Every structure is written in C-alpha cells, then in structure tokens.
A and B are shown apart, each in its own frame.
Chain A
C-alpha cells in the first residue's frame, strides 16, 4: 500500500467514527502515487461507495494529498478493484480478514449481540465457490433439524442429491410457507452434489435473480449467452418460483430452459410457497410440468421440533438452553423457524447485556415485546376511542363542551393517558379534545395524578385502560 494512502487512512481513522471508516474508507484503494502530478486514482468496489465517497470525503482526501505532497493533487474516483492486493478492497466486506484473530463478538464486549446463529461463515471461505454456484455453505443436511414436518422432504432431497437427474425425482418441487426451511433444503441439495461430484455445474438462483438475468439479457441483446448458460447446467436450483407471477417473458424463457434440462436428464429443483396448482399468475404449461417429478411439502414444525431447533441453534452459540426456556419460546412462536431464531437471538442478547443467566424469567422479560403483545401504535385517537368505550360514552362527548362529571372525568383520564402514552405536546392534546387550552390539559393531568392516590376505583379504571392500550 502506498505511503500516502497509509497516512490518509490513519487520518480518517482519527476523524471518523469506526463504523463510518470501516464502511466507506477502508474498502478504497489508491493508485498512481508514483506519478501524483498526473492525478491519483481511487478505486471503489461499487457504485454506492463511489458516490458516497465522492460526495463526502473526496475533497478531504485531496486536501490531505495536497498537504502530503506539498503540491495540489487531484483524485479521480473509479469503479473496480484493479490489480493485485484484493485484501484492502474487500476488507470491509470480509470482516474476518480484517481482524487477525477473529474473536466472537460476544467475547470482547460484555453486551455484545450474539453472532449469527447460522453456522455459515460466508465470504472468505466461499467467494470463488459462491460466485460460481451461489450456494451458501452453511446450509447443509447435517445441520438441518428433522421432524415430522420435514422428514419426507429431507429424505427426498437426499435421494436427489445422491442421484441428480434421476427421472423419478425430476423436477423436484418443494413447497411450504415462509420461513420453514425451503431455501436451506435446496442449498443442502446443491452443497451435497458439489461435495460428491466436484465436476458438476450446480447453480442456485432465486426466481427474482433469474428474472433480472432475463431482463439484462433482453437489454443487452444477449439471449444466446443466457440460454447457453442455463442449458449448460447440470443442476438448477430455482428458489421461490412464485416470484414469476405475471412475468410472461421470464416464464417463457424458463419453459425452454426447463424442457432442455429435463430432456438431457439434468436435475431441476424448484421451491415455492404453495402447491403448484395454487401458484397465481403462472402459465398452465409450467404448472403441469412442475408436477412431472416429485412434489414434497414442508409443514410448520410441531412443538418438539421447534424445541429441537432452538436447542441446536443455542448449542451452535455455545449456550445451553433449559427445556423450560426452549418450550416457552417454542410455545409462543409457532408459525415459522425464522422468527424462532430471531426470538432466540433476542434472549441471548438480552442475557448478555444484563449479564444474567438464561432462565424462564429472563426469557419472558426479553421477549415481552415480541410475544403476544398487542403493541398497537398508541395515538390520541385510539386513546379517545378506548376511553369512550370503557366509560360507555361517545367519542364526540370527549370533544364536546359538556362539563358534567360523567363526561369530564373520562375526558381527564383520556388527557392523562395521552400525556403519558404519546409524545404529543399539551397544546396538541388540548387541540385534539375539541380545541381546549393547554392549561386545561395540565389541570386534567394533575387532577388524575392526585385522584389516583386517593380514589381506588379511578385508579383501577386507569390501570385497566393502561393495560388495554399498552397491550
């Protein structure tokens, strides 16, 4: 690395918060220092970084350059990594490469959030492989939790991976709701095939990315290359085919790819969020073809499986999870594995922040916002509605000029709630209650505060309303 750039980096490291420095400055690479009179070239790995640096940091870099070389220096920003040393360019995207001894985040900070629960170690190990196959190495059969919900789908997937292209399983169609592990399963098929047959050309593609490829081929008039590429694959793993909905040109292209691959006994695996016949906006000729091979379903996991998933994921984080805690989380998050994972991360982060042991009480506390809470956005309007319902009066009475006790007290309660549950100002609250003065609101708030200590019934009413509103 050039000496000017090193000094420039260290200057920015001093001037910027670390997250800004790591995101925007570290990925840059400078060239042309030997011949600085003709200008320096600064390479950004992509357009976003280029634009950002140009707007915010370019003049500072030129300033530092002029000071360093004692002569005016111009810096041109360019796209691309150029030449050798890719390390500094990818440093920000390759977190592991930047730190010589990677320590799990939780180890060096007492409040660290847990690292990703998926065992994947992206990027450094995988980039060349990933570019070719787009397979995420962490999604394997070995770390897929099996239960009644997915054992058939898993068994069929293993068969396909052992014998790709076999007529009985081609195409293989996996369907199930969001967050049940379809993507995991089809990556696992791809990873197993690559592992056992390194020569096979395997490609994972999300339906949206396939669509982008079609659009790009269309724009650059390169349909021949597009067709050649997709027909050259040994295994095509197409994720989320429901995204083809209404995209006619994409469906047509896929129809031909599909036929060509099946004819030459190449394996196709397709995932979808519904049964083939229920996919909307898809041509019939595709739907019938999806049913040619084997169709398997993944169901939402039953409670035992959810518990097993949680325990396995916790184990990957070197945390022992009590049954009691695992059951608590599993009982409350039923519908999909993703949110189960999110809830576990929440519990681990909470425990780590408070330096507490993971037990049932802690799990309840950590998840109180996520589980079962109503958490509606609290506005003055829904406070008024709730209060009016509770006291069996009309919402309009709350805005009205009426000052009978029967109306005035609920109005004061509603004002007190508005003050305590929203960020509205006193004048804004007054305005929302029929254009009253802010002193009226202030008086109401003080009255309710005093009354709550003396009047048990009113205190009870306020308590119930708070519960209803806060969920």
Chain B
C-alpha cells in the first residue's frame, strides 16, 4: 500500500518534472537556440531577408568589414574601454556600499538596498533621459564620461548585490583571529577579506561587463552620435540601414566577447573556489 503510494507520487513527480523540462526546453529552443542559429546563418549572408538592401559579397563579408575597418575596430576598443571602466567604477562605488550594507546597522542596510535596487524599477530610457537633461545643464552631456556615469549608475546593483553576499561570507571570527595575531587593517583586507570576496567580485564584474557591452539606450542618449558602441552599431545597422547581415555579424562578435569573458571567469572562480570550499 505504502509502496504503491510511494511509486505513484514518484511517477507524479516525474511527470511534473518532464512537463517543466518540456516547457523550458521548448521555450529555450524556439526563443533562443533557433533564433541564434538563424542569426549565425544571416551573418554569413546565406539567408538573406527580403528587406536586406545589400548585395551578397561572400559568406564572411560582415566579419571582414568589421575586422578590416579601423573605424569598427576602434568602436570595439571603445566599447571594451567603457565596459572595463564601468567595472572599475561599479567596484569603486560598490565596495563601500556593500560593506556598509552588510556590516552596518539595519537602517544603513535598508537605505542602501533601496537606493541601489530601486532604480531598477525605472525604465533605463527614462533614467538616461533625465540624466541627459541634467548633464546638458552642467555641460557634461554627449561625452564618454557621461556614458560612463550613466552606465555605472544603471549597473551598480549588479555589482553591489553579489558583493553583499561576498561580505556576508566573510567569517567575522577569522577577521578577529587575524587581529589577535597582530594583523593591521591592510593585511586583513588583502589577505583575509579579499580572497573571500574574489568570487563575488568576479561574478559582479562579468555581469557588468556583459551588460555594459550590450547596453544601448545609455550611449544612444548620453553619448556622442559619432562615437557609437558595438551595441549601437548593431542597432543602427539593423534598424537604420537594414543591413541585417552586418548587424548579425557584429551581434555575434559581441556574443563571442561575452563568452570569452564568461569562460575566463569560470576558470578563475574554479581556481578561487578550490582554495575555499
């Protein structure tokens, strides 16, 4: 009796699991895998859309155009520069915020979490536009600095939230032990806290990197039109010039850069985790 019941619940659980996996798998396939494969095909110019106004110039035309042009290479380096600057900026602001939110009183924590997370509920476009108006008023708009300020502000939660869990993982007793052993603040920060924080720093950095490489409303509104980012090149190529082959190619280069970063992070985290867990 009980065995039968057990078997029945097991079957029910398996059916439920199969259903869930089926739904997720279908969604993944239809909304992600197939479009990505299609985009790869488009980027090679094989499957040309009716609206594409450009001649077929060989399967690697999009990539040749991107890599062969000083202009586009420069755009890629500018995008990378923005991404790494955003990482530095979010870390510089995020470390003290996350530390205070974790170690400070309850009120500090609430204020910081609300302040950091709340802007996520306001549309990026609305926020960028507001920032643009303000920066125009103080003559700072339409510059790399303006784009960086906007990017850091919008991506800050993606650094602060992992860092908060990182600070929570620091055992106060190890810090206390280090103190009793004669360690000063600097040694504690570098040798005790930083290694525990490293996986969170990496996770936050990867999130900020990928998001800032792909963000386009910020550079669109805050940046100089003649200095687009890679995401803006995709946007303009596809929507303004209807050059889907080139847009797909640049989008895939963006994706490849993200994958490289995720791969490097995975290796670094495995290295760091081997030391801790």
Are the chains A and B members of one assembly? no
Show the binding face of B for A, using Cβ within 8 Å. none
Show the binding face of A for B, using Cβ within 8 Å. none
